[in-house]
């Protein structure tokens, strides 16, 4: 009896160790460790799940952004601003606001009120003056660089917005980019009913574009993780490394009529890009392949037709490429990113100055409209104008 009891006691005391040994053997034979005991991977992008860690935590977010085309780490554009001194031009402008303002050939003609030229009403009437205000009787006059005199009370000195400048590039951008055209709020996903992020973007902000999708009949651009903007609010540049159709040189100026941008390429690499203003309807900038034919430091541009009158003195850094159509500075407006001209390609003074310094006679100007909205029938195009 004692021997039986002793045997039973021995079996009971050994039972836990048998159980533990069996469990350990089971665990050792398994190829998978439960999640609660696994190691979380270091933050990073994992195209496929690794064997030795779990891509959780920050890696989930990084994998999601990588799938949307946003790299980790997120790289800035390889871009920098041109020299600010390019904005400086040696002219002083006077905006004529007097309807039917007269220009006089001399002070005597001004005193006798005998005009030599009449400036009819227009939103684009600017003259370039020199020297100080001169008083004759009760009237005061400015002398223009062209030699004419204009009444001071008929206008005001030029009032200009802070100058806009494009971007120079130290290397080829990895993805598309652009400038915000106005104040706009981003959404967390493409779609008119998607919630807003609470972030606001402003005119002239530069954004990189990582993805483009269509939702609710609207094209949307991904400009940051979970931040989508209606593409209509962005003046976009798509860098490329091959010359467009019809361009045979390794230097060209590319004018995108739909996006209202100019991109400059040298040795098949983007070196400069900016927003511009091309021709409005009926005064379209003509698509095609052209060459820079003439460069003029400053030009007077005018149209004497009374229902479409304009008069602009000392238009700076003018580069003609298609009859009277030219790339040039436009000191009289800051509406870049939107059509504004009579066929020319308006640029900020600093941008036009940079391009004038870079461009050679004979360089190619490639004008195109990827939307196909600009007519191409030669019969619809005149000689062009500012």
Q: What is the pLDDT of residue 25?
A: 47
* Top mean-pLDDT range of 16-30, 57-71, 112-126, 274-288: 274-288
pLDDT at 11 over 50: no
Query: Is 344:284 a contact under the CB 8 Å cutoff?
Result: no
Q: What is the pLDDT of residue 69?
A: 65
Query: Is 44:59 a contact under the CB 8 Å cutoff?
Result: yes
pLDDT at 306 over 90: no
Query: Binning pLDDT at 50, 70 and 90, where does residue 14 land?
Result: very low
Q: Residue 59 contacts by C-beta under 8 Å, 6 or more apart in sequence? A: 40, 41, 42, 43, 44, 45, 46
List Cα–Cα distances, 238 to 165, 187, 211, 225, in angstroms: 18, 23, 12, 20
List Cα–Cα distances, 18 to 11, 21, 29, 30, 193, in angstroms: 10, 5, 17, 19, 63
Q: How far apart are CA 354 and CA 328, in angstroms?
A: 11
pLDDT at 29 over 70: no
Q: What is the pLDDT of residue 34?
A: 57
Instruction: Write a three-state SS string for 277-322.
Output: ECECCCCCCCCEEEECCEEEEEEEEEECCHHHCEEEEEEEEEEEEE
Query: Binning pLDDT at 50, 70 and 90, where does residue 309 land?
Result: confident
Q: Residue 370 contacts by C-beta under 8 Å, 6 or more apart in sequence? A: 256, 258, 259
Better pLDDT: 53 or 360: 360
Q: What angle do CA 60, 64, 66 make, to 5 degrees?
A: 115
251-380 is a CATH 2.40.440.10 domain? yes
Average pLDDT, the chain: 87
Query: Binning pLDDT at 50, 70 and 90, where does residue 62 land?
Result: low
Q: What is the pLDDT of residues 63-75, one digit of tens each?
A: 666 666 676 677 8
Q: Which CATH class is domain 174-237?
A: mainly beta
Annotated domain spans of the chain: 91-157, 174-237, 251-380
pLDDT at 114 over 90: yes
């Amino acid at each position: 009896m004692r021997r039986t009891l002793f045997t039973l006691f021995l079996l009971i005391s050994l039972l836990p160790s048998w159980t533990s040994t069996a469990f350990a053997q089971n665990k050792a034979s398994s190829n998978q460790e439960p999640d609660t005991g696994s190691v979380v991977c270091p933050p990073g992008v994992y195209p496929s799940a690794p064997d030795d860690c779990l891509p959780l935590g920050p890696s989930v977010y990084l994998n999601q952004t990588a799938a949307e085309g946003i790299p980790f780490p997120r790289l800035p554009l390889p871009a920098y601003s041109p020299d600010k001194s390019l904005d400086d031009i040696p002219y002083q402008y006077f905006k004529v606001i007097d309807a039917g303002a007269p220009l006089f050939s001399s002070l005597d003609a001004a005193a006798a009120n005998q005009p030599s030229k009449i400036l009819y009403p227009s939103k684009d009437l600017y003259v370039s003056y020199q020297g100080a205000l001169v008083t004759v009787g009760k009237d005061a006059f400015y002398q223009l660089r062209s030699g004419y005199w204009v009444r001071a009370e008929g206008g005001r000195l030029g009032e200009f917005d802070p100058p806009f400048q494009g971007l120079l590039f130290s290397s080829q951008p990895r993805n598309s980019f652009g400038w915000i055209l106005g104040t706009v709020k981003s959404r967390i996903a493409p779609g008119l009913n998607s919630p807003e992020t609470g972030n606001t973007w402003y005119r002239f902000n530069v954004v990189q574009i990582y993805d483009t999708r269509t939702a609710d009949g609207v094209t949307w651009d991904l400009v940051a993780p979970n931040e989508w903007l209606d593409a209509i609010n962005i003046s976009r540049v798509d860098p490329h490394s091959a010359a467009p159709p019809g361009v045979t040189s390794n230097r060209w100026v590319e004018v995108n009529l739909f996006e209202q941008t100019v991109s400059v390429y040298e040795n098949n690499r983007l070196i400069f890009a900016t927003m511009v203003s091309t021709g409005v309807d009926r005064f379209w900038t003509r698509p095609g392949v052209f060459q820079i034919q003439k460069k003029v430091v400053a030009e007077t541009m005018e149209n004497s037709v009374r229902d479409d009158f304009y008069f602009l003195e000392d238009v700076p850094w003018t580069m003609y490429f298609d009859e009277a159509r030219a790339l040039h500075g436009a000191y009289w407006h800051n509406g870049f990113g939107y059509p504004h001209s009579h066929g020319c390609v308006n640029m900020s003074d600093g941008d036009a100055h940079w391009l004038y310094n870079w461009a050679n006679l004979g360089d190619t100007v490639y004008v195109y409209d990827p939307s196909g909205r600009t007519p191409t029938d030669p019969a619809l195009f005149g000689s062009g104008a500012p």
